[in-house]
Chains A and B, each alone.
Chain A
Amino acid sequence: MAALALIDDEPLVRESFARLLSSRDHATTCFESAEDFLKSAERGGYDCLIVDFRLPGLSGCELIRELRSQSVTTPVILLSGNVDESVSAQLEGITEVCTLDKPCLSADLFAMVDSCTQVSG
């Protein structure tokens, strides 16, 4: 059981991910945008962050950079429709980030969440 944060602008997407993760007994807190998340007090208290690549306002990548600059080292799963060169370029130099295709198989999501939470401790 891990404490997760999910940042996505689409309510139905948030809801479905949250339900899926709760089926594996993960507690998921949802945020609508990067800005909302950054404003939250517990932004450093999660085991893993699941962030949508494309967000209104600050993008997924910008959010991770901002967190790292604030020394928040929580592992991040970046949800992306298609990871191409431009995405890879934006992720260059950022640690503790892995990407997951969206949509994805639940097994892949669970495996990735498990590996992230085990590493972090």
Chain B
Amino acid sequence: MNAPDSQHRRDVAQLTIDQCRDAIFWHRGPQIVYVNEQACRSLGYTREQLESMTLDQIDDGLEPEAKRAIMEQILRDGSAVFETINIRSDGSRFPVELSVTAHEIGDEILFCGIARDISARKETEEKLFASQRALQHKIHELELTERRSILAMEGGRLGTFEWIPSQDEGHASDSFYRLFGQKPGDVPPTYRSFVAQAYPDDLPRIERVFGIGRLRRRPIAMETRIVWPDGSIHWIEIRARFAYAETGDPIRLDGVMVDIDEKKSAEKRLDARQHELRLALDASQMGTFEWDAQDNRIVYSAQTNRILGYGVTAGVSHVEWFIRHIHPDDYFMIRRSIARVRRSREYHHLEHRIIDAAGRTKWIEIRGQFVYDSDDRVTHMRGVVADVTLRKQAEEELQLRRFAVDAAAEAMFTIDLDGFIVDANLVACDRLGYTREELTGMKITDVSASERSASFHESVAETRQQGGRMHIGRHRRRDGGIIDVEITARVFEYRGQEYICASARDITELKEAEQRLRNLDQQLAHMNRISSMGEMASTIAHELNQPLAVIANNASLLELGDSADDIDDFKTLTQTISSQAVLAGGIVRRMRGFCLNKAPTEARVDLREVIEESIRLLAPRLRHAFVAVDTKLQTDCQVTVDRIQIQQVLVNLIQNGIDAMSAVPESRRQLSVSVHSRDRFIRISVTDTGGGIDAENAKRLFEPFHSTKASGMGMGLPISRSIVEAHNGRLMFDNTTTDSTTFHIDLPLPNFESSG
């Protein structure tokens, strides 16, 4: 073989090898020594790279165990074909069929592997397997279905039969017999035996259907009744078909019979329900309608027709007929609602106005539902319609009344006799801080801060007895704040049920004003006392100085040793000092007590003490004015009053008396104070001999700032009167005699105070 020739052949061989669709690897042991172009292409390496790699780097399909076995086979048989997986330079894998042969070249053994990409084949195989699996699954399912239907048949619901008309004989499954209430094989399945068990009324139809089926070659399908040997009647469904000979004669009837008792009784029940529904709809004056999307027509009941103002027959009309009656103001609202319901698949429920055939505006209520097919397209809407005009009018009237009730200035509650709030107006809600919904779930005792459940029932009884009642109470706001209220309650009856209608007037401000007034009164009374005290100041100072002078003088005598030899005299002096100190203390205490500014506190007091205290307080004035005092005090003079205030009234009256008598001769200055109880009250009378009060003064006596005295403020009597009235008493004067004036203070006796 010459060189060019040899070179040429080598080139051709190389070219062939490179053009080959299979990848070729020559390797010595695992070391790759030569690869062709396809090997480089399929694995994504350069030839140089591959020729420095080992087989392990490109193979991922074989376990070491398998590799060894293949190698043994190659060395034994000279070749092996097997499948493995190769790895590309990018890490991806693909299946290959590898055919490896061993060659002795020189003194060494080289291996030549030819690798074919079998991805496509593998894929096809995979698909094949999958469809085989699916097929097996189907077969399995079929088997299951068959088994199930056999089970069903054996359960007695479905029987199969075949019948040969020419001989009137047949065969049937066991369950077929059971459908007829017989034991398998009891009576042969012949037409005669079938007819014998047919329900007599159904017999003509059975004969007709079988006759038609036979002549016209139609499948038989009918529901009919049969009578069991025990006399019970059962529904069955028959489906059968004749088989014909080439001559055209029927040679066999194959069929199934199904027990449809349940279906029939369900249908019966459904019929009954539909009948009931119709009755209910008629009774409620509801009409029905069904709109068909396909032809846009509405099928409506007689009542629907009547609501629209037409006759009393049911009918079918184009949807436009209905739309024409919609009140123009409601048209768009209805369109929007329907569009929304159609999307959301909600229940369509709407109240709107229509104008009926006679032109009257009516309110109707529509309830309906769209029906969708399997592609989610609307096919129908079914619904009911009712005339709610009267109800709407009543509601509107109620709404008007509600506006009026809500607009009321007072909080108003409607309460049932168990105390539950049935209704409350806006003022009530706002004032108490609840919503109407919250309030109407509560009991009145929940918002009343003054009334407990027990007393609620008492006050209900009282309100019922008197037909109405007014009282002062307190309401508790949601935030805990307290409102003083004046409650006017009355009982009314509605549909055989009694309710209480209560209006609550907020009198918090009134109460506060009263309180302020009381405070003001207290301040004024105090000022009056201080002012009285001011008038008395010089006399009181003198009064106080007298005992103090006695004390000072006696002390000096002791100091000078004037009584050193006489123990009795010594004792007299010291005793005088003590008693004069006590006297001085008493004056200071009375003064201080009288001038205290404290809130009125009522307590049980003996009026005699109060009177004596007042006279004692005024003793210096009385003495200096040469006024003689006499008192007529009965033994029991217990009343509940504020001691200081009543003393103040007495001091005012006695001072007035002293002043009134300044113009009369000293010998005739006489002040009398007496106490005696009358019918229901106790009366203190203060009489002076000051010559009486003239008619002009008498009229203005209790007016503030009216005074006949130069230094007088003119507040003494007005304040005295308000104090007495605050004690539920009266302050009056008696001017019937010309030379004297008597003031009466009437105070309620404890037992009668509550009724005062």
B552 touches A13 (CB 8 A): no
Instruction: For the complex formed, measure the closest distance between the CB of B572 and the CB atoms of chain A, giving whole angstroms.
Output: 10
Q: Which residue of B lies closest to A101 (CB)?
A: B545
**Inter-subunit contact B542/A12 (CB<8 Å):** no
Q: CB-CB < 8 A to A55: which residues of B? A: 624
CB-CB contacts below 8 Å: B551-586 with A? 551-554, 556-557, 559-560, 562, 576, 580
Is A45 among interface residues, defined by CB-CB distance under 8 A? no
B210, CB-defined interface residue at 8 Å? no
Residues of B contacting A38 in the complex (Cβ-Cβ under 8 angstroms) = none
Please tell me if the beta carbons of B551 and A23 are within 8 angstroms of each other in the complex: no
Q: A16 contacts B554, CB within 8 Å?
A: yes
Instruction: Return B565 CB to nearest CB of chain A, in Å.
Output: 13
- Distance A13 CA – B554 CA, assembled complex (angstroms): 10
With beta carbons under 8 angstroms apart, the residue of B559, B562, B580, B666 that contacts A12 is B580
A103, B545: Cβ atoms closer than 8 Å: yes
Q: Do B576 and A12 touch across chains, with their CB atoms under 8 A apart? A: yes
In the complex, the answer to whether A20 meets B541 with C-beta atoms within 8 Å is no
Q: Mark A73-103, 1 if CB is under 8 A from B, else 0.
A: 0000001011000000000000000000011
Could you tell me if A23 and B562 are in contact, using CB atoms closer than 8 angstroms? yes
Q: How many residues of A are in contact with the other chain, CB < 8 A?
A: 22
Contacts of A104 in B (CB 8 A): 549, 552
Quick check: is B548 within 8 A (CB to CB) of the other chain? yes
CB of A120 within 8 A of chain B?
A: no
- Contacting residues, chain A, for B546 (C-beta < 8 A): 10, 12-13
A56: nearest residue on chain B (CB-CB)? B624
Contacts of B54 on A, CB cut-off 8 Å?
A: none
Quick one: closest B residue to A16, CB to CB? B553
* A57 → B minimal CB distance (Å): 7
Contact of B435 with A by CB under 8 A:
no
Instruction: Known A23-B560, A81-B545; judge A103-B626 contact (CB<8 A).
Output: no
Which of B554, B623, B666 is in CB contact (< 8 Å) with A9?
B623
Task: List which A28-63 residues lie within 8 A (CB) of chain B.
Answer: 53-57
| Whole-angstrom CA separation of A41 from B655 in the bound complex | 37
Instruction: Check if A19 sits within 8 Å of B562, measured CB to CB.
Output: yes
Contact present for A19 and B553 (CB under 8 Å): yes
B538 at the interface (CB under 8 A from A): yes
Is residue B597 contacting chain A, with contact meaning CB distance below 8 A? no
Cβ of B707 < 8 Å from any Cβ of A? Answer: no
Interface centre among B549, B551, B559, B624 (most CB of A within 10 A): B549
Q: Considering the chains assembled together, what is the distance between the CA atoms of A107 and B546 in angstroms?
A: 19
> How far apart are B4's CB and chain A's nearest CB, in angstroms?
165
Write the chain A residue with the least CB distance to B545.
A81
Are A56 and B545 in contact, with the CB atoms below 8 A? no
For the complex formed, measure the closest distance between the CB of A50 and the CB atoms of chain B, giving whole angstroms.
11
B550 in contact with A12 (CB, 8 Å): yes
Given the complex, which residues of B lie within 8 Å of A106, measured CB to CB?
Answer: 552-553, 556-557, 559-560
- Which 10 pairs of residues, A with B, have the shortest CB-CB distance? A106-B556, A16-B553, A103-B552, A103-B549, A81-B545, A103-B548, A54-B542, A12-B550, A10-B546, A56-B624
Chain B residues with CB under 8 Å of chain A are 538-539, 541-542, 544-554, 556-557, 559-560, 562, 576, 580, 623-626, 666
